[in-house]
Amino acid sequence: MISELQKLEKDALAELSAAEAEDQFLNIRTKYLGRKGLLTGLLRNIAQVSDNEKPLFGKLCNELKNSLNSKIDAALLEQANRNKENILLKEKIDVTLPGNAVKYGHIHPVVQIRREICSVFASFGFSIVEGPEIELDYYNFEALNMPKDHPARDMQDTFYIEDNIVLRTHTSPVQVRIMEKVRPPLRILSPGKVYRRDSDVSHTPMFHQIEGLLVDKGVNFGDLKGILSAFLKKIFGSATTLRFRPSFFPFTEPSAEVDIRCVMCGGKGCRVCGQSGWLEILGSGMVDPAVFQNVNYDPEEYSGFAFGLGLERIAMLKYGISDIRLFFENDIRFLKQF
């Protein structure tokens, strides 16, 4: 039996020194030391060993078991270290390679235009004010001289939330809210989202507006022309030609639509200006006395002008974009160009 034990030890050591991979070491452990392993089998047959040899045999078996176990552990550890070294050797880092560029975010063209327009009017002394997008019928229409069921309301296709609550169709209600709280003189600019039931290549149900209001003693139509001319020349260039065209808004009297010479064809007539040579840019007018009465301003004492424009329209003209929906599709290839 003892000689069998010695042979078993020799075999195990030979196999161990020939083994290389982790599973080979584990197999050796199972083969010799497992529950059905060879050494375990020998121990089970201890009955066949003569009584005076039994203690020695038992001792040798245990010693072999321990030494095999620790040799296998050591081999496994060494094998793991070798693996790690191999990986480190293979995965060399080339520190001279250029790094991954950080992708910068981009300011949306509509936001760029909003900032540009706000900063022009800030330089004219206007304060930037904001108000709610979900608005009372009163502020969106009634206070602006558009009574319920008046046909003037047809100019703006409205989303109603309840009978008296709408998604604002313009940012003019912000001006009413401010006038209720502040006495003239007043110079305010209200940018923001507005909503109309409208959808085609030049209309989206949500778009952005900027409206302005100036109220003081003795403000006249010449002041309106002066400020709006200076503004449009800053945005479209100092050579911009303007045209004031009579128009109608329920909250201004008189009212004027402001056009500029077509930025695409220079006035010769093209697809963008519908062959007219002019581009409609904004609505404006002298604040109607009825609006002043609604906010307790005395129309005999104060006068003022107001104007409003769509930001997407300005961005489309400035950058030559033909479909308004591109602004809201969030296609990075489109947005990156600005």
Q: Which amino acid is at 231?
A: F
Q: Quick one: 43 or 182, whose CB is closer to ligand PHE?
A: 182
**Closer Cβ to ligand PHE, 257 or 273, answer by number:** 257
State the nearest-atom distance from the C-beta of 126 to ligand PHE, in Å: 14
Cβ closest to ligand PHE, residue 135 vs residue 211: 211
CB of 189 to ligand PHE, least distance (A): 12
Nearer to ligand PHE, 40 or 247 (CB): 247
Report in angstroms how near the CB of residue 332 gets to ligand PHE at its nearest. 31
Nearer of residues 29 and 153 to ligand PHE, judged by Cβ: 153
In the complex with ligand PHE, the residue whose CB is nearer, 120 or 335, is: 120
Q: Which residues bind ligand PHE (CB under 6 A)?
A: 170, 172, 211, 249, 252, 255, 283-285, 306-308
- Helix/strand/coil (H/E/C) assignment for every residue in the chain: CHHHHHHHHHHHHHHHHHCCCHHHHHHHHHHHHCCCCHHHHHHHCHHHCCCCCHHHHHHHHHHHHHHHHHHHHHHHHHHHHHHHHHHHHHCCCCCCCCCCCCCCCCCCHHHHHHHHHHHHHHHCCCEECCCCCEEEHHHHCHHHCCCCCCHHHHHCCCCEEECCEEECCCCHHHHHHHHHHCCCCEEEEEEEEEECCCCECCECCEEEEEEEEEEECCCCHHHHHHHHHHHHHHHHCCCCCEEEEEEEECCEEEEEEEEEECCCCCCCCCCCCCCCCEEEEEEEEEECHHHHHHCCCCCCCCEEEEEEEEHHHHHHHHHCCCCCCHHHHCCHHHHCCC
Write down the least CB distance from residue 194 to ligand PHE, Å: 7
Q: How far is the CB of 209 from ligand PHE (least distance, A)?
A: 6
Strand 134-136: give its sheet, edge to edge. 134-136, 165-167, 160-162
* Residues pairing with 209 in the sheet: 192, 310
Strand bridging mode 134-136 / 186-195: unpaired
Nearer to ligand PHE, 31 or 225 (CB): 225
| Residue number with CB closer to ligand PHE (195 or 236) | 195
Min CB(212)–ligand PHE separation in Å? 8
CB of 305 to ligand PHE, least distance (A): 8
Task: With beta carbons less than 8 A apart as the criterion, state whether 242 and 228 touch.
Answer: yes
Smallest separation, CB 337 to ligand PHE (Å): 28
